[in-house]
Structure 1
Amino acid sequence: MRVMILRHAMPLTGGRLAGRTEVDADCSDRTALAAMAARVVGAEVIASPARRCIQTADAMGLSPVRVDPALWEQDYGAWEGQSYADLPDLGPLPLEALAAHRPPGGESFRDMAARVRPVLEGLERDTLLIAHAGTVRAGLAMVVGDAALSFSVAPLSLTILRRAGPEWAVEAVNLTWP
């Protein structure tokens, strides 16, 4: 069984952190959207309820989709909506400390991964999730642990996980068009 996790198209954040903040997606690259849609034919489609994820699904011709609120991006609490330049500098942190860090009023990466994991483990057939960079990393964390935080996840990129019985493996990470 394969789980394909597609990060939504480029979010139009205006240079601000938009974990749970609703922003639009730039779905203007119709060629890339069509190419991604061709890669995921036949899979069940589940999306985060975020507007940018639903817009990506619509632009790929995959709507209507089932929506699962557990697929939302990490909640950055007080950091939501801040410009990237104004976010606090945490300094060098070991991956374990970074994964456990909670922004004020938000959730840690581990909290988010614990929310996403039951969705992934409950899937029974090839499935496409249209979600966020954090969701991709949460899936990768099932195989590589906190090292998942070291992966870059491009907009409109596809990551594929494979499950055989209870075991998960990474098939591909960050596939983009072309």
Structure 2
Amino acid sequence: MPTVILVRHGRSTANVAGILTGRAAGVELDDVGRGQAARAAERLAEVPLVAVVSSPLERCLQTARVVAEKHGLLPVQEEPGLTECDYGQWQGRPLQELAKEPLWSVVQRTPSQAVFPGGESMAAMQARAVEAIRRHDAAFGAEHGAGAVWVAVSHGDIIKSVLADALGLDLDLFQRLTVNPGSVSIVRYGTERPEVVATNTDSGDLSWLRGLGPVADAQVGGGAGPGAAS
């Protein structure tokens, strides 16, 4: 199966203000966020991407366009399944204020039970995000082969939930993962199991992704790494 590179959008104006943005319109990258998007794009410049897929929210589209520009005329495909969680009545409120709500401790300790008032549950969020990633991954594999590499640009909780699924973690453990703005995480879906190659990276050469073979049995002892003779 192909390799999916999960990129979180760069820092937004709402991130700095401490507001739970959710799906609100008009939230864009700030100067730091634009720099983070550019850094992610530079890291991916030597990787032969077959597609860039993005949440339809502006901060993700801005990030995705910067990545896509490094690959000529590669279009950005919008995917509603990768959009931010529907936080309902929590949307637009300060995080410091929300931390006083009883639901906050549920989100922290047992997110599988969390349902945002007037919004969606975190379990539903994870289900539709994982479905979208696996659907696109299978399609790109069918079209471009098992060596295909593609990018999905999304949001922190969305990427954390996808990584938790790939790691076989219960959703109640997904808060143990960190996904920073502009970070890159990498997952490969094999026939036997997913392989989580990297999480929350913000630096380093990614050109080695060009030489990855199909996901196979795990190497006992850890193996010799990408590019090593088999």
* TM > 0.5: yes
Question: Among the aligned pairs, what percent are the same residue?
Answer: 30
- Aligned positions, number: 178
Q: Secondary structure at the match of 2:194?
A: strand
Deviation, structure 1 residue 32:
4.3
1:21/1:91 Cα in 2 relative to 1: closer, same or farther (>3 Å)? closer
Letter in 1 for 2:154: A
Render the CA deviation track for 1:104-146: whole Å, top value 9, x for unaligned: 0111221101111111212124220011012211211212232
Q: Which residue of the partner structure matches residue 72 of structure 1?
A: 83
Say whether 1:50 aligns with 2:57: yes
1:104/1:132 Cα in 2 relative to 1: closer, same or farther (>3 Å)? same
The question of whether the paired residues in 2 share the 8 Å contact of 1:32 and 1:177 is answered with no
1:80/1:111 Cα in 2 relative to 1: closer, same or farther (>3 Å)? same
TM normalised by structure 2 equals 0.69
| Structure 2 residues not aligned, in runs of 5+ | 142-147, 205-230
1:115/1:106 Cα in 2 relative to 1: closer, same or farther (>3 Å)? same
TM normalised by structure 1 equals 0.88
Q: Bigger CA drift: 98-107 or 68-77?
A: 98-107
Letter in 1 for 2:91: E
Higher helix share: 2
Give matches, 1:18-167, under 5 Å. Answer: 18-22=21-25, 23-28=27-32, 32-40=36-44, 41-43=47-49, 44-60=51-67, 61=69, 64-87=75-98, 88-90=101-103, 92-93=105-106, 97-122=110-135, 123=137, 124=141, 125-142=148-165, 143=167, 144-146=169-171, 147-167=173-193
The question of whether the paired residues in 2 share the 8 Å contact of 1:6 and 1:159 is answered with yes
Render the CA deviation track for 1:151-170: whole Å, top value 9, x for unaligned: 12110001111111252121
Deviation, structure 1 residue 29:
6.2
| Structure 1 residues not aligned, in runs of 5+ | none
**Which has the higher Rg, Structure 1 or Structure 2?**
2
Say whether 1:7 aligns with 2:15: no
Q: Secondary structure at the match of 1:17?
A: coil
**Aligned-residue CA RMSD (Å):** 2.3
The question of whether the paired residues in 1 share the 8 Å contact of 2:4 and 2:186 is answered with yes
